[in-house]
Chain A
Amino acid sequence: MRNFGYFEEDYTRSLSERGLWRRTLGYLHPFRFPFAGAVLLSLVVTGSTLSLPWLMQQAIDLYITRQALSFDQRMAGLLTNVLLYGGLICVGFITAFLQVVLLEWIGQSIMHTLRQNLFSHLLEIDLRFFSKQPVDRLVTRITNDVQNMHEMFTSIMVTVFNDLLRMACILGLLIYINYKLGLLLCLFVPLAAIVTILFSRLARNHFRAIRKQLSKVNAFVQEIVSGIMLVQLFGRTDELQDNFAKLNDGYLKKTLLQIRLFGMFMPITELMSSLAIALILWYGGGQIIQNQLSLGELVAFLSYMRLFFQPLRELSQKYSIVQSALASAERIFHLLDTEAENQTSLQHGQIKLPSLTGELCFKNVNFSYLTDHAVLHDINFSVKQGETVAIVGSTGSGKSTLINLLLRFYTPDSGHISLAGFSLPDIPHNHLRREIGVVMQEMLILQDTLFNNIVLDTGKQRKEVKKLLQQTQLDQFVSNLPQGLDTVIGEGGQTMSTGEKQLLAIARVLCRNPSILVLDEASSAIDSKTENLLEQPLEHCFAEKTVLIIAHRLSTVQRADRIIVLDKGRIVEQGSHHKLLKKQGTYSKLIALDFETDKIG
């Protein structure tokens, strides 16, 4: 079921907040120099922003109100000041621009690394993990969650630093200009801090409640829309509309609560700002009367105060970005912490990769996907070089599990699987999978030419592929496509029939020249035309290779050298088709009952 990332749990705190920060910052490490550059740039921006009111104050005090000087002197002084002012504006403009671009570059690069790590890691994780995770959730990790963190790198890290610095600078400046008035204004700092912390706490709770409710609403809509036909047929529309209205109203209520909170907090900063202005006018004015302060300084105070309160207004919004980024970071790191597939005891490149041509042996193999729910019991069998073995059994008898174990998608609970004398865990899994060619029911088509789809990563030349296709009589299928091997297939390209896809899968596997061929026959949806198409290539395989088939078709079963019958995870019978039929055991019953799953159409 797709979930579109519209509903997602919030930060669960299963990883500590400090740990999260440490790991997040770890990604920043390779970019420490550009980051330092960004910080430097932001210092320049802050510096120039803060100098502007100071320059204005200088202009007022030294020239505009200086009646003692001559008009020309005053104007000349003013002009110098203005030129300086203009210079600073330009510096501010350029540095601000550079800073934004630099930060975006850093943020995007980090995100790229993170996304890439995540994706590569994901592909390395054990299959067991994927059976439990909906695809869309994993996609959300790679896309939306990474995006959320990007926000933090670009709009939070530097600005928070910058904001704190700016506030400290302003206070320093104010104290420098007039320490009495400056210290008085420092009173606003603890006040602002208390209000902000209190607000952040409250805002977080609201933020979470809203997210949670919205997930509920979206999950509900998604489910109902997917099942709309049932809802309409079973006449439940009215009732579900009521349920929806309740959820929807709940969401409204929660957002209104949040608005109330924001409505209280946001004006409070404005109020503090008004109070500060009043204080400056009253106390600063008094200082002017006593000649302790100049008029220009008073104007500067007023301007700086405005700048002082600016970051506070943004703080709460930043806080919610941090919250959602932390929630995403937690989910991402959680995924990164999921263990990758067990590597082999042999190190890559340590020894020459062994040839895997030889006997395949399952010895006392037991396996379960979930504890206490065994799927395979005590499996013992071997397949000789060149033999064709069919595995049959009803659904849930453990056929596919055997293949999963052979490919080391899963590891047996106990017992031993060996190939050509090597124990499976000793073979690097990439090598193993290269040597075992699997034709599965599902199909992966890369959006590329047919040729590339056949070759994949084997690096085979065109000639070799052509020769191979000829040998296996697959060339006819290729010549049926408009541009032969160069036909682009996959999304947006040439569409292929089920049969053609099967043929591609076989060509692909043969191209890898595997030691063992594993065929997972389609249990349904094969028409006679396709079956005829498949006939000859398969014949070719059976003649040359060791083949293991999960069989659903009678024709295949009959052709196999040996049939292994699985029932509820145990091997109950083995032998040739005729021998087993005569036996009148599970196999013959299975043929009677189950081969009608061999559906048509």
Chain B
Amino acid sequence: MSSYFHFYNVSSVKEVYSSFAHGEHLKPEKNTTDRPSLKKVLSLLGPIYFRHRIRLLLGLVALLAVNFLQLTIPRILKTGVDSLSNGAATQSSLLNLAFLICGIGVVATLLRFSWRYLIIGFSRHLERDLRKKIFSHVMLMDGSFFSKYSTGSIMAHGSNDLSAVQMACGMGMVAAIDALVMSIAAVFFMLNIHVGLTLTALLPLPVLALATRFLTGSMHRRFDRVQEQFSGLTEFARSSISSIRLIKAYTLEKSQAKCFALLGRKYVDSSIRVAVIQGLLFPIATLVGSSGMLLVLYFGGRLVILESISMGDFVAFITYLYMLIWPMMAVGWVANLSQRGVTSLRRIHLLLSEKSQLLPGKEESQPKNTFFELRQLSFTYPRSKRRILENITLSLTPEILGITGPTGCGKTTLCQLLARMYPVPNQTLFFGETDVNALSVESVQKHISFVSQETMLFSNNLRENICFGRPDASMERIIHAAKAAAIHEEILSFPEGYESMIGEKGVTLSGGQRSRVALARALLCDRPILIIDDGLADVDTETEQKIMENIAPWLKDKTVIWVSQRIKQLARTDRVLVLEDGKISDIGPYDELMQHNSFLAEISRRQHLRGKHNHA
């Protein structure tokens, strides 16, 4: 029955190692304020266990049956050895016993297959269900969630933590049951043979328990240190590689390599400190097991000599003791595994108990129109003190509203609030004459299309990317939108045109091309509200001019919110809003604002030739 142990021993180490390859996973959760109770955390698994109860039950039966069969083999051996030592054995009686062992072996094989398939398979089902749950949960979260959990952290939850849970619920569970059943049974049979001898044989076991406890404790501490150093190493490599141009320009190659070597050395040292403990753990288990054997050899041998027990008893006793060693060694492993499993499950639980900060709204309330109304809207990001927006009062009706202002003035935040990415206080933001908090998020979002500052395209073909918001759009419409965004011709120049894949295995798009694809995507949605959050910053001036002309018909009768730093774009708007330090510092038609607004004047000063060359 040592198979699972051996099999997973190696992989557990590997798993431990691989988990600290990702720094995100390891940083202890800062959020210790509300550590969920174990019961609550385990309740996450309850329904999944319940759903697979029959599978689990059958697996358990198979597992116990294997254990039972496992225990009968020493008894058969005992019969055989006894008959041999008292001369009662014959060829045919031995053959019968041999056949019996073979038969048990075959049945055990089938049962072993069954429990593996049932129980380990269950852990994979569990993994699947939990992964799905995490994904669905994340999909419904708002911006406040994503500012707390980075993509990396979500990935770590979905892979490292999940596999820790899977290990604990699969092999960990099997090993735990197995260790329990086998050790109880082995001890029972041993007691049956000779009570005194059993107690003698078990004498060294507490040493193992104590040693394991002590060693695993300090191993955890040392592991943490290794993990820390590993993520330090990773971070250093990352920052060096991302600034490779600078390193080369400043000829820092050698000194960077030296720093890296220093970090690497430290990592090696701590790893060896871990190895010292690991190096002790397994030999100690062997040592303790062998000591038990030694005691049995001496005292058991003495009992045989004194004829208190038979030779067969002696052999069987030794076999049972062997059986006991593995569960004992497994205890440390199981404890470690379940501890990791619970820790990971707790992290998953925390993630799943995050709620979207956006109120669900009422089903029945529907916006009356698609106009926004902001009434003294102030906004502070969750877990932050700095007020980003202050007292914004504004109504947005079909027109083109340009928004400008210095970095950090709150332009992007304003756009994100309109797109319902973050929660807003009651009675400050109205959509279609209804407080947005009374509306479902979706009922607002479905009227908005968005071009963000950082262009996000999916690794799919260009056509799919453009029609992302309108999967049912005809090719004609797609081309139409692409033409408006002045990207059509460039798409056609790719070998596979609209079917070209984006990304490493396909075409690489420049920043400008990407933002134009994103614009086409937003235009194609043809929703009443269009928000362009500085989405054309990467597009060069000539193309920009072209786009501005092309999209005019698309913007008709729409509310367009256009964040821009370019005068040329602002000049084309109906109204310009200047945002400074989260407040509206000025709003009005462009020409009017140009007369007196200092911020616009500053742009003007820099873009001096404005006076001489009229902006078309």
Within the complex, the shortest CB–CB distance from B417 to chain A, in Å, comes to 13
Within the complex, the shortest CB–CB distance from A420 to chain B, in Å, comes to 18
Within the complex, the shortest CB–CB distance from B407 to chain A, in Å, comes to 5
Cα-based distance from A407 to B251 in the complex (angstroms) = 11
A51-73 CB mask vs B (1 if < 8 Å, else 0) is 01000100110011100000100
Q: A592 and B609 in contact (CB under 8 A), knowing A85-B297, A274-B102, A527-B406?
A: yes
Q: B255 contacts A457, CB within 8 Å?
A: yes
Q: B11 contacts A317, CB within 8 Å?
A: yes
Q: B260 contacts A119, CB within 8 Å?
A: yes
Cα-based distance from A285 to B95 in the complex (angstroms) = 9
Within B129-147, which residues are at the interface with A (CB < 8 Å)?
A: 131-132, 135-136, 138-141, 143, 146
Total inter-chain residue pairs, C-beta < 8 Å: 448
Q: A230 contacts B3, CB within 8 Å?
A: no
Q: B77 contacts A281, CB within 8 Å?
A: yes
Q: B272 contacts A263, CB within 8 Å?
A: no
Cα-based distance from A316 to B602 in the complex (angstroms) = 71
Cα-based distance from A381 to B510 in the complex (angstroms) = 29
Chain B residues whose C-beta falls within 8 Å of the C-beta of A241 in the assembled complex = 135-136, 139
Q: B260 contacts A528, CB within 8 Å?
A: no
- Is the C-beta of B459 less than 8 angstroms from some C-beta in chain A? yes
Q: Which of B239-247, B362-370, B587-595 contacts A (4 or more CB under 8 A)?
A: B239-247
Chain B residues whose C-beta falls within 8 Å of the C-beta of A218 in the assembled complex = 155, 158-159
Within A1-28, which residues are at the interface with B (CB < 8 Å)?
A: 2, 4-6
Within the complex, the shortest CB–CB distance from A151 to chain B, in Å, comes to 6
Q: A248 contacts B105, CB within 8 Å?
A: no
Q: A601 contacts B275, CB within 8 Å?
A: no
Within B204-236, which residues are at the interface with A (CB < 8 Å)?
A: 230, 233-234
Q: How many residues of B contact A (CB 8 A)?
A: 167
Within B577-616, which residues are at the interface with A (CB < 8 Å)?
A: 599, 602-603, 606-609, 612-613
- Is the C-beta of B14 less than 8 angstroms from some C-beta in chain A? yes
B312-354 CB mask vs A (1 if < 8 Å, else 0) is 0011001100100000000000000000000000000000000
Cα-based distance from A71 to B473 in the complex (angstroms) = 98
A207-221 CB mask vs B (1 if < 8 Å, else 0) is 000000010011101
- Is the C-beta of A124 less than 8 angstroms from some C-beta in chain B? yes
Cα-based distance from A245 to B136 in the complex (angstroms) = 10
Q: A595 contacts B609, CB within 8 Å?
A: yes
Q: A139 contacts B234, CB within 8 Å?
A: yes
Within the complex, the shortest CB–CB distance from A572 to chain B, in Å, comes to 15
Q: Which of A93-101, A411-419, A469-477, A478-486 contacts B (4 or more CB under 8 A)?
A: A93-101
Instruction: Output the nearest chain A residue to B541 by Cβ-Cβ distance.
Output: A593
- Is the C-beta of B430 less than 8 angstroms from some C-beta in chain A? no
Pick the contact of A282 from B94, B136, B302 — CB < 8 Å? B94
- Is the C-beta of A591 less than 8 angstroms from some C-beta in chain B? yes
Q: B248 contacts A395, CB within 8 Å?
A: no
Chain A residues whose C-beta falls within 8 Å of the C-beta of B29 in the assembled complex = none
4 tightest A-B contacts by CB?
A: A274-B105, A601-B406, A100-B279, A104-B275
Q: B311 contacts A321, CB within 8 Å?
A: no
Chain B residues whose C-beta falls within 8 Å of the C-beta of A221 in the assembled complex = 135, 154-155, 158
Q: Which of A142-150, A173-181, A349-357, A384-392 contacts B (4 or more CB under 8 A)?
A: A142-150
Q: Is the interface of B mostly helix, strand, loop or mixed?
A: helix
Pick the contact of A233 from B140, B450, B606 — CB < 8 Å? B450
Cα-based distance from A90 to B121 in the complex (angstroms) = 41
Q: Which of A130-138, A196-204, A360-368, A460-468 contacts B (4 or more CB under 8 A)?
A: A130-138
Chain B residues whose C-beta falls within 8 Å of the C-beta of A273 in the assembled complex = 105
Pick the contact of B254 from A217, A231, A235, A457 — CB < 8 Å? A457
Instruction: Output the nearest chain B residue to A90 by Cβ-Cβ distance.
Output: B287
- Is the C-beta of B257 less than 8 angstroms from some C-beta in chain A? yes
Cα-based distance from A245 to B134 in the complex (angstroms) = 12
Cα-based distance from A451 to B606 in the complex (angstroms) = 34
Chain B residues whose C-beta falls within 8 Å of the C-beta of A119 in the assembled complex = 237, 240, 256-257, 260
Cα-based distance from A115 to B260 in the complex (angstroms) = 9
Q: B607 contacts A267, CB within 8 Å?
A: no
A414-441 CB mask vs B (1 if < 8 Å, else 0) is 0000000000000000100110101010
Cα-based distance from A218 to B607 in the complex (angstroms) = 47
Instruction: Output the nearest chain A residue to B163 by Cβ-Cβ distance.
Output: A214
16 A-B pairs with C-beta separation under 8 A: A5-B21, A112-B264, A115-B260, A123-B248, A138-B241, A225-B151, A228-B139, A228-B146, A229-B450, A251-B128, A259-B121, A267-B112, A281-B98, A295-B311, A298-B84, A407-B249
Cα-based distance from A63 to B286 in the complex (angstroms) = 26
Instruction: Output the nearest chain B residue to A151 by Cβ-Cβ distance.
Output: B14
Cα-based distance from A267 to B259 in the complex (angstroms) = 50
